[in-house]
Chain A
Amino acid sequence: MGAILQIEQLHKRYGDVAALAGVSLTIQGGEFFTLLGPSGCGKTTLLRSVAGFLRPDGGQILCDGERLDRLPAHKRDIGMVFQNYAIFPHLTVFENVAYGLRARRVEPTEIRRRAMDTLRLVQMEALADRRPDQLSGGQQQRVALARAMAIRPRLLLMDEPLSNLDAKLRVEMRTEIRRLQRELGITTVYVTHDQEEALAISERLAVMNAGRVEQVGFPWDVYQAPESAFVAQFIGTSNALAGRLIATDDDGPRVDLGGWMLRARRRDGLAGQVLAVFRPEALSLAAEKSGDSDATFGEAVVVSREFLGAVLRYRLRLDDGRVIHLDEHKPVAARLRKEGVRVRFMVRPDDVMLFPLEESS
C-alpha cells in the first residue's frame, strides 16, 4: 500500500497574497487525490511544497509520519510529472527513465530491467532509443510518467499533466494514468483546474479557492452536495440566482426571486438574502400541464441554443432579464424550441441548493 500523506496547517505568503492560508489534508495510502481549483487558488503552491521546491512559511507535511518538509527536495523520494513534461532533451527515452535509478545507484542490469519494465507499462518500450524531439506530445507524456514511476516513489505528484494535450488524447491519457496508478498502488496527488477531468479521474478531491480548501470529498458528493456557493459554481455548470428567503415551512424553503417563488432543498441557518443554485440538467421543459406538485414552474424566453451532441443547452431569459441555462437530454428535433419563443420550465426543490449570498462574492 502507498504512503499516507498528511498536510497540517500549511501557510505560504507571497507579499500580501496568501497562497496557502492554513491548508490541512490527509491523503490515504494508494489513493488518487486531486487538488482542483482555478488558477491562483494555491493548488500548485501546495504541490510544490510537497515536492520540496517551495518552502512553506508554516505548518508541516508528513509522509507515513515522517516530516517530509525537513528533507531537501532530492531526498524526498517523490516522483513528479510536470505540466510541460520536462523531459531531458539530451537523453534518449530509456536514459530519461533510467535517470532516477542511476541516481539511486541501482545495479546496471537492474536499471535496464526496471526501466524497460516501466516503459512496457506505458507502452513505450519500442521507442526506448528515440530522442525526445522525435516523440509526440502524448508519447512525451508517457515518458514523463514512466520516469517518475520507475523510481517507485513513495508519492507521485502530477502538475496539470494533461493540459498540453488535445481533447481526445486528454481523455485517453487520464484513463491510462488511472490504470497505471491503480496497478502500482502509489499514493498520487494530482493538480488540475479542469473540473471534468478532476471528477473523472479522482478517488477523492479537494476543491481549493484563495489558498483554502473549500471542500474535500468524493467526486459524486462534491458535485451533488457542494458545501459552498463557490464549489457549486466552480464544479459543473450552475445557474445562480440571488433572492430573498421567505420561509421554511413544512414544504421546505422558498426563495422570492422577484416575481416568482422557487422552492429549494432544506438547509438550516439561513435568512435574508440567499443564493439559489441549480444545475442546467435539473431544469426541464414542462408540458402545459404537469402533475408534479412539488416542482416550481417558471416561464422564460429562449435566447439561444447550443447543440452539444448528447445535450441541447438552452439559454433562457427570465422576465427580470436574468439568464439561466437548461439542458435537455436526448433532444428530439420535433420538439426544438426556436429563439424568441416563450417556454415553461420546471425544477424540483431537491435540486435547488441555497447558500448565504456573501459566500459567492
Chain B
Amino acid sequence: MTWIAFALLAVLLILPLGRLLWASLLDEGGGLTLVHYRDFLAYPYYARTIGHSFLVSSLVTLAALVVGVPVAFILARVHLPGKAVLTTLAILPLVSPPFIGAYSWILLFGRAGYITSLFQTIGITIPTVYGMHGIVLALALNLYPFVLLMVTGALRALDQSLEEAAQGLGSSPWRVFWTVTVPVTLPSILGGALLVFLTAFAEFGAPMIIGEGYQVLPTIVYSLFVNEMGSNPAMASTAATLLVLCTTGILLVQYWAVGRRRYAMSQLRPIPPTRLRPTVQWFCAGFVYLVVGLSLIPAIVVAVTSFFESRGPVLYPNFSLGNYREVLFNVPRAIANSFLLSSLSTVLDVLLGTLIAYLVVRRRSATTAALDSCVMVPYAIPGTVIGVAFIVAFNKPPLVLTGTFMILLLAYFIRRLPYSVRAGSAILHQIDPAVEEASISLGVSPLKSFAKVTARLMLPGIVSGGILTWVQTITEISATIFLYFGAWSTITVVIYRQVSSSNFGSAAAASTLLLVAVFIPVLAVTWVMGERAATTV
C-alpha cells in the first residue's frame, strides 16, 4: 500500500516537477543552459514580478494582521450580540474564491463600477481599484480569517488559571495582557501570518482579474504560457520554477519560525468574555461588524448583480433572471463538469488520504514517515505551477493526458491530497488505538475492525474534511486555467472568461451559483460540527 502511494506521488508529482525543471534548463537546441533564468532576472518586465509578489503578499499579510488579530481578541474576550452567527459568517470569505472577490470590487470601484459611476454623476472622479491596491484589498479581506482562526484557537486553548496566576503575582490586567496573553498567542499569530503570506503569494485569480498591468509571479507564468506572440514554455517553466522555489522557501521559514511552538493546556477552563465600558464595548462591536461586513460585500454585490438586467458590461437595476438563463443554457456542461470533477477528486482524496493517514499514524516506520513528508509536498506548490508542470509532463508520451478529463482530475486530486491526509491524521490522533485492538480481541478480523471501529469513528472528521476539499476544488482556477480544454471547461473558467470579456451579468450569475454551492455545505458542516470544523480549512 505504501509503495502504491509512493508510485502515485512519483507519477503525479516528481515526474511533472522534474519535467518542469528540465524544460526551464533546455535551450532551443536541446542543450543544458541557465539562459532562461538569466533572461528572466535581466528583463525588468519579468524580474519585477518577483518584487511585486513579495510586496503584495507582505501588504496583504500586514492588512490581515491589522484586521484579524483585533477581531480575534474581541470575539474571544468581549461580550458581543450575535457572536455565534458572526463567527460563522467570518469564515465564509475563506471558502469563496478570491477572484470572485476581485471581480465584485471591480463591480463597485471599476471603470464602470457602481460607486465610480455614482461619483461621476456628481462630478467627482475617484481612482479606480485596478492594480496593486485592488489585489491587496481583495486578498486581505479574503484571507484575514486565517489569522482570525489561528488566534481564536490559541486564545481558546488558554486556561483561566494562567492569567489568574499572573494577576496573583501582582500584575495589572494590562500588564498581564502584554506579558502573558500576547506572548502565548504569538506563535499562532505568526502561523496565521505566514499562512496568509503563502496563500497570497500563490494566488492567481485575483491578480489576474484586478491587477491589470500589475503582474505577479503566478500571472506572469500564465502570460508567458498563453502569450499572443506565441507561447514560451521555457520561460513559463522558468517562472514557475522560481515561483515554486519562493513558496518552498516561505514554507521552510514557516516551519522554522513556528514549528511545533504551540502552547496548549489540558483540562481547559477557557477565559470567559468580559464586559467592558459601554463605549468601548460598542466600539469593539462596531469594528467586528465592519470587518465581517466588508468581507461579505463581494458575495452580496455579486448576488445582487446577478439579478440585474445586463447588456455586456452595462447593468440595469431591474430584476431579471436573464443572467441565470444565459448561464444555465449556455454553459450547463461547465457547471456539470465542476460538480463532477470536484466530487470525483474529493472521493479519491478522501479514500487515499485516509489510508495514508492511517499508515502514517498507526504503522509508524521510516518508510511511512517518508511518505508523510512526500505527501505534504503539493502543499508548497501553487496551482499555477501544477498547471504548467502537468502540461509539460503530460503532453508527450509515455503519458499523454492534455485536453482530457483525467488531467484535471489528477491535478485536483494531487493538489488537495495533503489536506485530506492532515484531516485524517488529526482525527486518528484522537482515537485510542486500543479501541481497534479491543475489536480484534473480541474476534473481529483486523480489516473488519478498522471498518467497524476506526473508520466509523473517523467519519465525522473525514466528512468535514471531504466537504472542505470539495469546496476548495470546485473553486479552483489557477491550475484549471492551464489544463481545461474545450468541453472540459469548468464554472470557474466560465466566470473568468465572462469577466475578461466584460459580460458582468452572466459572470455574476455563475459566481452566485458557485458561492451558493460552496456556502451551503460549509454552513452545514459548521452547524453540525461546531467551530471545530472551520479549523481544518
Q: A residues touching B (Cβ–Cβ < 8 Å)?
A: 51-53, 72-80, 82-84, 86-90, 99-100, 103-104, 147-148, 151, 157
Find the A residue at minimum CB distance from B431: A89
- The reply on B181 being an interface residue by CB < 8 A is no
Point out the residues of chain B lying under 8 angstroms from A76, CB to CB: 441
Point out the residues of chain A lying under 8 angstroms from B445, CB to CB: 72, 74
B449 and A88 form a contact (CB under 8 A): no
Q: Which 7 A-B pairs have the closest CB atoms?
A: A100-B442, A86-B434, A103-B443, A86-B438, A80-B441, A82-B434, A103-B444
B443 and A147 form a contact (CB under 8 A): no
A104 and B435 form a contact (CB under 8 A): no
Point out the residues of chain A lying under 8 angstroms from B435, CB to CB: 86-89
Min CB gap B105→A, angstroms: 47
Min CB gap B297→A, angstroms: 42
Q: Supply 29 A–B pairs (Cβ within 8 Å), ascending by A.
A: A51-B441, A52-B440, A52-B441, A53-B437, A53-B440, A72-B445, A72-B446, A74-B442, A74-B444, A74-B445, A77-B443, A78-B441, A79-B442, A82-B432, A86-B432, A86-B435, A86-B437, A87-B435, A87-B438, A88-B438, A88-B453, A90-B457, A99-B439, A100-B442, A100-B443, A103-B443, A103-B444, A151-B443, A157-B441
- Report how far A72 CA is from B449 CA in the complex, Å: 13
Find the A residue at minimum CB distance from B441: A80
Chain B interface residue count: which class? 10 to 19
Min CB gap A290→B, angstroms: 54
Prevailing SS type, chain B contact patch = helix
Point out the residues of chain A lying under 8 angstroms from B440, CB to CB: 52-53, 73-74
- Report how far A89 CA is from B443 CA in the complex, Å: 18
Point out the residues of chain B lying under 8 angstroms from A90, CB to CB: 456-457
Known: A89-B457, A90-B456, A90-B457. A84 touches B434 (CB 8 A): yes
A104 and B434 form a contact (CB under 8 A): no
Point out the residues of chain A lying under 8 angstroms from B437, CB to CB: 51, 53, 73, 80, 82, 86
**Which of B434, B441, B456, B457: most chain A CB closer than 10 A?**
B441
Q: B residues touching A (Cβ–Cβ < 8 Å)?
A: 432, 434-435, 437-446, 449, 453, 456-457
Point out the residues of chain B lying under 8 angstroms from A73, CB to CB: 437, 440-441, 446
Find the B residue at minimum CB distance from A150: B442
Point out the residues of chain B lying under 8 angstroms from A147, CB to CB: 438, 442
B434 and A83 form a contact (CB under 8 A): yes
Min CB gap A190→B, angstroms: 15
B439 and A84 form a contact (CB under 8 A): no
Point out the residues of chain B lying under 8 angstroms from A104, CB to CB: 443
- Report how far A55 CA is from B444 CA in the complex, Å: 18
Find the B residue at minimum CB distance from A81: B438
- Report how far A80 CA is from B457 CA in the complex, Å: 21
Min CB gap A174→B, angstroms: 21
Find the B residue at minimum CB distance from A84: B432
- Report how far A78 CA is from B442 CA in the complex, Å: 7
Min CB gap B35→A, angstroms: 52
- Report how far A99 CA is from B452 CA in the complex, Å: 10
- Of A87, A89, A99, which one neighbours B442 at CB under 8 angstroms? A99
Known: A89-B457, A90-B456, A90-B457. A103 touches B442 (CB 8 A): yes
Known: A74-B443, A74-B444. A82 touches B438 (CB 8 A): yes
